[in-house]
Amino acid sequence: MSRPQHFGWFLARGFGPQGWGYPSLDWDYDWTRPEVYQGAARTLEQAGFDLVIIEDAPSLGSPSTIDLRVRHAFGGPKHDPLLLAPYLFQATNHLGVVPTVNPAAYLPYTAARQFATLQHLSGNRLGLNVVTDTGSARHFSDAPQLGHDEAYDRAEEWLAGIRALWHSWDDGALLADRETGIYADGTKLRPVGHRGEHFAFDGPLNALPFTEGDPSIISPGGSGRGLGFAGANSDVQLALAPLDEKSVRDYRAKVHEAAIERGRRPDDVKILFAVQPVITSSSEEADRIVAASAHPDDAVLAQIARKQSSDLETDLTSLDLDSALDLSIFGAHVSRGSIQRLIGDRGEGAPLRAHLTALARTGRISDRSGFVGTAEEFADLVEELGDWGNDGILLWGDFHPVTLHRTLDELVPVLRRRGILRREYADGGLQANLRAF
């Protein structure tokens, strides 16, 4: 029997216009209404997924490039995923729902109270994808923008404060004793006086303590500081790394070392590797898709250019495809790593067409050159990761029914047959499911 794996779905375009710009996804769903998300959440629960994570960014980005972000809806609009969560909880019974939250946007007391409320309302199924992006700082105060590591320091202080509030009710504080008429013993509530570098507040929290564990903490940062944060704080780490044995084992070892350093057990952090497979009905179909991807037409390149223009906050759509890409068009606000990912090893003299074509190119799962393949081939890959000690897989995509069905319809039965994907949920919500194996 194969080692069971935890499965998550990353709703990569957040609570925004699902499928905009992709003609095959033009199904007239209203992205501002809950129904399309509720349908998807039910599908994921039926499939045996542990959790769905909803991407978010609270900002439209730099004032000078807002048009690039909204023109094709890659960078916005986005509605608040925390407020979508109750609709998804209502549509499901077991699925964990994980909105993305940025500590810049929530005062700890407000956050502790809202998250506690959702944990109770959902039957212990709330998770929080804690991100540390600082680009949106200007929307919350006029304080100077924090550096990369400082943002992680703030996130750790924020989370420690929230956890202190969640645990400000000692065991035995809640009585709900009908005989005496006493609901709670106030002498067992701790005051929590937090005076830190970034936050200052008092407790105790006026929300009830948890019976099945705290909301789960999820984290996606891949830097050394990010992995340290995961080891110290997270129940789940989202890993974006190559899927060869050395990379997988090295990544896991770094998170586990960080966990041990902070007095936790390696198994306290489940690591889910992110992957966006294209599941085909036959290996011939997979071969055809891979062969065609090496020769994208101009419409495909234009679509990639629109997404890159939004992500890199730099207009690539008006440039000549066959002229060398001048790197001076990227302002100082664009991370060097993102530019490097676009140009790869082709160098500055290469035309834009070459860079965009490289992004269009896909490979076969079977020879590990990419992620196009049959359900059996993808299951082989998942099983191999499991043999290296892996905990789970994070599938990546939008929430459109077309995307979900194309990805899952053939895959779920194969994973189930091999014993990789759960058939039943544990009692006790998201923490219980994460700890079940």
| Binding positions for ligand FMN, rule: CB under 6 A | 10, 55-57, 100, 129, 131-133, 148, 220-223, 225-226, 238, 240, 274
Residue (103 or 296) nearer to ligand FMN, CB: 103
Least separation in angstroms between CB 152 and ligand FMN: 7
Q: Which lies closer to ligand FMN via its Cβ, residue 286 or residue 393?
A: 393
Minimum Å gap between C-beta 238 and ligand FMN is: 4
Of 102, 127, 128, 124, which Cα lies nearest the Cα of 209? 124
Minimum separation from the CB atom of position 380 to ligand FMN (A): 23
- The pair of structure tokens assigned to 219 is 């984290």
Q: How far is the CB of 226 from ligand FMN (least distance, A)?
A: 3
- According to DSSP, the residues that pair with 218 across neighbouring strands are 129, 236
Separation of CA 258 from chain center: 21
Smaller CB separation from ligand FMN, 192 or 394: 394
Select 133 or 212, whichever has its Cβ closest to ligand FMN: 133
Alpha-helical segments (H) within 147-266: 148-166, 224-233, 245-261
Residue 19 or 220: the one with the smaller Cβ distance to ligand FMN is 220
| β-pairing verdict for 174-177 and 182-184 | antiparallel
Nearest to 6 by CA among 295, 403, 390, 427: 390
Structural contact between residues 194 and 200, judged by C-beta atoms closer than 8 angstroms = yes
* Residues 230, 231, 236: CA angle, nearest 5 degrees: 50
Shortest separation between residue 132's beta carbon and ligand FMN, angstroms? 5
Residues with Cβ within 8 Å of 413's Cβ and at least 6 positions away in sequence, in order, are 375
| Unique residue bearing structure tokens 């984290």 | 219
Beta carbons within 10 angstroms of residue 19's beta carbon: 21
CB nearer to ligand FMN: give 55 or 398.
55
The minimum distance between CB 264 and ligand FMN, in angstroms, equals 19
